[in-house]
Structure 1
Amino acid sequence: VSIKAWQAPGSRMFIKEGTFVSLEDLLRGIIIQSGNDASIAVAEHIAGSEEAFADLMNKHAVRLGMNNSHFLNATGLPEEEHYTTALDLAKLARAIIVDHPDHYAMYAEQYFTFNQIRQPNRNKLLWRDRSVDGLKTGHTEEAGYCLVASAERNGMRLISVVMGAASEESRAVESQKLLTYGFRYYETHKLYSANEILNQPRVWGGAMDSVKLGITKDVYVTIPRGQKSALAASLDVDAVIEAPIVLADQYGKVKVKLGEETIVETPLLALESVEAGGFFKRLWDQIVLFFVQLID
């Protein structure tokens, strides 16, 4: 633990300079106790400095599609050009839940004791609604009281984001309203399963004549109740697919519309590799492809 982490302002888990703290304890200190000291300690351990860690945060934000966020520190304390949005926080929350289910269980823990100091989770909904199992609170004078919450009922999971509330109680109440509204008026449907074959188009110049295309993650949609019949899915497959093909290469998109609005757009990927065919196979396919394209 560095002196910078030890001296972190704001909420802390009370780690001490020069001591060694397990990563698991630091994660609990961040998640449950909102420890700025723990956030800096983890950042320095992973990236060498808080500034370098912020660079990693920005790169990962791009991968998650958080297009309106920019981070300068690991704590969330105010800085110019350090910002995010409610939608981006919802995307981050979804990634935590889906990609890190083992660690996500920490977000539901109500208390954490470190150095004989017991602190409660600041997410009041964990005591008020048994379906709530996360995620994270936040507060600064500039941002107000914020809460990203998640709950699961009857196999349906929702994420709510409240920013700029006037108090701890207000952010909890408004989050509960959003979740109650969502569960009452929306429903979730599974459209596709991971590695489900959605198309098997022709492969030109390959050792095989076709390739299996699909998606690598389950696809769900949450829509207003009673609107399932308005869903329409379509595949946009590349016109020409040539070998060699590498597993997980993209050859199109899967789109789902609700009425006129596109609500899902995800890459259509190769579910297998296809090696290039032999010389005569490739030559013959090139001749056939030439005339096919000529006719089209």
Structure 2
Amino acid sequence: MKQIGSKTVTMFPLFLRLAVAAQLVGALLSPPPAVAQSIETAARQAIIVDFASGAVLMEKNADELMVPSSMSKLMTVYMVFDKLKTGAWKPNDRLPVSETVWRKHVKSGGSLMFLPVNSTATVEDLLKGVVIQSGNDACSVLAEAYSGSEEAFGEEATRRSRELGLTRSIFKNASGWPEPDHMMTARDLSVLSRRLIADFPEYYPLFSQTDFVFNGIKQGNRNPLLYSTPGADGLKTGHTAAAGYGLAASLKRGNRRIIMVLNGLSSMKERAEEARRLAEWAFREWETYPLFKAGDIVVPDAEVWLGEAETVQLAARGNLEVTMTRKARAEMKVTTVHTGPIPAPIKAGDEIGKVVVTAPGMAPMEMALVATGDVQKLGFVARISTALSRIIWGQPKR
């Protein structure tokens, strides 16, 4: 069970209130402790994130710019999914395969959907070609239809990525084909993966499809976890000589989902084995614990200063879930922090304080506490009386 402590900064006397508040602010603004790193990986870059809470379970060079290879196709998929969701495109819309696209890819040696020159293909088939077959030609067709040229699409993808919370990624094309400055980070890929699943639950099941036939050619999904690991349901592999073998993967077991990004592995075999090993570790050693739901009363009687009510209830602003190792769970501490007494007037929804959750090896998590109702300020005479009572007796007199 969670234990809730309480830490209230008293308003009176003033010099004590300021001193305590300064100590609290310093503690809360100090850099959070690093995530406990209890497992190593052969990957050059890696990150594992809990989908619901966003907690980082492990990371290695997660903010290092890297060649993302075909994992950057996830950005192209996101942008096309968005077109479908807004109704700008329909799944059965047919897009042209230009000679420019065909010549760029036909002898490139990269992965292809094998689109015939001067033909057309539906948006739905092109998406399958990207997600399942990793077709670079399918990406280019989508990019030309989206922005007029692949270069323009790369610029748009970079701009859009910032809106999604990707902080360092730069896109030069739609497929991840090697090109100077086409770079991402493992952390950015984890953010993009979470957004794909959260923003497009109606389209995400496409990622779990294991094969697709187009132009008489059957190709299988290259995600090795789909065939061997319980709970694996998608995202994307990548490989180039510069990047090594990489994988952005999602796995869901019960109510838990994790996002894993690996890059820089030496072979398809090592990629598959390392991904399975790290996934099993993440589900075995870590758990997500729901603490509060939006609206839950956390502080039932926060004292009010010079208000028509003596107390006000403080509730959780949103849902709060924390992810930690099962071992750390026994030492978890949940503390409420607010400045008190709380001066009236107070409006329902006003942010009054916060909940702070700490545990060994976990960065502190915070959530706002809000007032559940209005409290009007006392009239002039009553305020004078109450203030004098506080000064003389140390408590309000009504």
SS in 2 for 1:149: strand
> If you compute each CA radius of gyration, which structure gives the higher value, 1 or 2?
2
SS in 2 for 1:87: helix
The match for 2:160 is 60
Structure 1, unpaired ranges of 5+:
203-211, 241-246, 271-283, 289-296
CA contact (8 A) 2:139 2:174 kept: yes
SS in 2 for 1:70: coil
Distance 1:155-1:20 versus aligned 2 partners, 3 A rule: same
The match for 2:317 is 214
The match for 1:82 is 182
The match for 2:99 is 3
CA contact (8 A) 2:230 2:253 kept: no
Distance 1:63-1:260 versus aligned 2 partners, 3 A rule: farther
The match for 1:104 is 204
* Shift, 1:25, TM fit: 1.1
Count of residues in correspondence between the two structures: 267
CA contact (8 A) 1:159 1:179 kept: no
**Pick aligned residue for 2:276 from 172, 176, 192:** 176
The match for 2:144 is 44
Distance 1:37-1:169 versus aligned 2 partners, 3 A rule: same
* Shift, 1:5, TM fit: 2.6
* Shift, 1:176, TM fit: 0.5
Q: Which amino acid aligns with 1:130?
A: P
Distance 1:213-1:132 versus aligned 2 partners, 3 A rule: closer
| Structure with more relative contact order (C-alpha pairs < 8 Å, separation 6 or more) | 2
- Give the RMSD, CA atoms, in angstroms: 4.0
The match for 2:23 is none
The match for 2:327 is 226
SS in 2 for 1:146: strand
* Shift, 1:20, TM fit: 2.5
Q: How far does the alpha carbon of each residue in 1:35-75 deviate from its partner, in whole angstroms, 9 at most, with x for none?
A: 11111111222222222222232223223332232221111
Cα distance in 1 for partners of 2:126, 2:320 equals 33
SS in 1 for 2:120: coil
Cα distance in 2 for partners of 1:144, 1:259 equals 35
* Shift, 1:236, TM fit: 9.0
Segments ≥4 residues shifted beyond 6 Å: 233-237, 250-255
* Shift, 1:269, TM fit: 11
Cα distance in 2 for partners of 1:66, 1:77 equals 20
Cα distance in 1 for partners of 2:291, 2:160 equals 27
Cα distance in 1 for partners of 2:198, 2:209 equals 18
Cα distance in 1 for partners of 2:227, 2:136 equals 24
Cα distance in 2 for partners of 1:26, 1:171 equals 26
Cα distance in 2 for partners of 1:191, 1:137 equals 35
* Shift, 1:219, TM fit: 5.2
CA contact (8 A) 1:255 1:262 kept: no
Cα distance in 2 for partners of 1:35, 1:198 equals 52
User: If the length of structure 2 is used for normalisation, what is the TM-score?
Assistant: 0.55
* Shift, 1:181, TM fit: 0.7
CA contact (8 A) 2:172 2:181 kept: yes
The match for 1:71 is 171
Q: Which amino acid aligns with 2:167?
A: N
Cα distance in 1 for partners of 2:146, 2:275 equals 33
* Shift, 1:228, TM fit: 3.4
* Shift, 1:192, TM fit: 5.0
Cα distance in 2 for partners of 1:114, 1:269 equals 54
User: If the length of structure 1 is used for normalisation, what is the TM-score?
Assistant: 0.72
Cα distance in 2 for partners of 1:87, 1:167 equals 22
Q: Which amino acid aligns with 1:3?
A: E
